[in-house]
Structure 1
Amino acid sequence: MTDPSPPPDAADIMTVVHEAVGGIELEPAEKREIWRFTQRELPYLWSQRTSYFILGSYRDPYIRRLRAVQNELAKQLGAYPFIMGDLLELPTDRLNTFDIMFSLLATYSDYIVGVFEKESGGEAPELGEIDDQPYFDKSYVFPRDYAWATDENLDSTRHVIQAALEVAFADDLSVNEVQSKVGALVDRAQDSGLGINEQEVWDVIDDRTDEGAEPTTYRWVHLNKFRKFEPHDRCFPWTTEDELRTVVDKLPSPTPRPEWEASGAR
């Protein structure tokens, strides 16, 4: 196999790589593998299509939600949604392959899309990377069952459903007590003018029960990171997969080009 040659913007690429590996000197074989990766994967990000780097857990059933997001984005003409696990992997034993791949893909993608359903696993450090520069301005988060911890008002359907899920999965409540408390939640929401019906809430509870997944809870540090995206209108909570598919529409469409690109930022 012919050794790959450095691309025209090799200096910029190596700046990203050196930051990812902490500035250590790369061996010739490692550089060749990095050039091979960049020649294989980065042209898709440099094309006229708008790229969406999708982050989240690769374990089942979470990977199904990543695929759902990918499929929804792929319906748009000019979109290139991708998951890092599908790409060519860097075969290096000495270096942290994930850091290099993540840094290159995050740097050259137009948008970064994080789908979160739990607070542990590979997606936890990813959240820590995208909530700050240089990636924050082009990042969007989709946390399941998220509601800001200090929000005690049932002022939206999402908040009512989140509260109902917590009641339904409480260990110390009987079936009758769950039914009574869920009904009371809906009554309170309706009294405050929210257009929601009890069957809508029970449909979500039943779906979550069939799925076997309890409501997602997050520690304070995760909640604050999600909260950081909210004032920028880049945090989109969801409860069901259908709702996730719907809120994906809130992402920027393939046109126009992202604002960060016009400023020259990477």
Structure 2
Amino acid sequence: MAKIPENTDELTDFILDDVLYGVTLDPVDSERLLSYMRARHEHLFGPHSTYFVLGSYETPFKYRLDEALDVLNRRHDAYAYLLATQPDLDVSDDVPDLKVKFFLHALYADAIPLVLEHDTGGAVAEFGRVERPTLLERTYLFPRSREERYDDESVLTTRDAILARAVELAYHADDLEAELEALADRAHEHGLAISTQDLESYLESELGGRRPSYSGVITDSLVHLKALDQCFSWTTTDELEDRLSNVP
């Protein structure tokens, strides 16, 4: 479907043809689906701007989703929310209720910000879903450290810059241990008391001990969204908060 369903008949057709791919909804499930929509009417179709925020619910990545919610909810007459906070659909066991619930909210959100920090888990599945034409024009992608902005040694003169560079290295360095040692040496040259162990502890708190990356399939899609001016790289939480200003 090239446009957002405007009535219940179109919505049912969309769910059957574009989401469930031929699975049949019995009359009871169809009625429950419509009841769910009626119950969420004020939320989905109210006068406020709605922001359906996507991303990883894992710790510590969930922290960034909470920051995004906070930033967007500061806007006048705005409602930013996560899928997990919305009521569940009460349908038969053979209907993928979470998938249907996702599309019901994505279809009627004014904007869909997606905070991406790695290429595994539910956030990647959500990324694949929002690439559909119906949703893509309202999707704004925020990948962490897709671009390296702290690789210029002239900027590595503050603690914040050193820590930001450590995050970038976690994404891009072939030999992270050696790069962190060199980064700690650079910090000492500028009188900053930051050891390699400090950098490792910081990465543990920021990334949960993982070496995040983006697969070729993901980076190809990032190129697409960037060409549409809907992809904004960030490294620190302050930068993420700033980049969210690109969501209308």
TM-score (norm 1): 0.72
Superposed displacement of residue 247, structure 1: 1.6
Distance 1:250 1:232, change over 3 A: same
Question: Structure 2: which 5+ runs fail to align?
Answer: 1-5, 156-160
1:240 alignment partner in structure 2: 236
Aligned residues: 226
Distance 1:126 1:177, change over 3 A: same
Aligned ranges 1:50-129 → 2 under 5 Å: 50-92=49-91, 93-129=93-129
Partners of 1:57 and 1:63 within 8 A in 2: yes
Partners of 2:54 and 2:112 within 8 A in 1: yes
2:203 alignment partner in structure 1: 208
Superposed displacement of residue 23, structure 1: 2.7
Superposed displacement of residue 242, structure 1: 2.4
Question: Structure 1: which 5+ runs fail to align?
Answer: 1-7, 188-196, 253-266
Aligned ranges 1:140-151 → 2 under 5 Å: 140-147=140-147
Distance 1:22 1:126, change over 3 A: same
Aligned ranges 1:128-167 → 2 under 5 Å: 128-147=128-147, 161=165, 163-165=168-170
Give the alignment partner of residue 179 of structure 1, picking from 181, 184, 192: 184
Give the alignment partner of residue 224 of structure 2, picking from 216, 223, 228: 228
Superposed displacement of residue 156, structure 1: 11
TM-score (norm 2): 0.77
The root-mean-square deviation of aligned C-alpha atoms, in Å, is 3.4
1:219 alignment partner in structure 2: 215
Superposed displacement of residue 243, structure 1: 2.0
Percent of aligned pairs sharing the same letter: 23
Distance 1:111 1:102, change over 3 A: same
1:193 alignment partner in structure 2: none
Partners of 1:142 and 1:236 within 8 A in 2: yes
1:191 alignment partner in structure 2: none
After the TM superposition, which of the residue ranges 134-143 and 237-246 deviates more from structure 2? 237-246
Question: d(CA) in 2 for partners of 1:61 and 1:125?
Answer: 19
1:29 alignment partner in structure 2: 28
Question: d(CA) in 2 for partners of 1:238 and 1:85?
Answer: 25
Distance 1:80 1:163, change over 3 A: closer
After the TM superposition, which of the residue ranges 77-86 and 234-243 deviates more from structure 2? 234-243
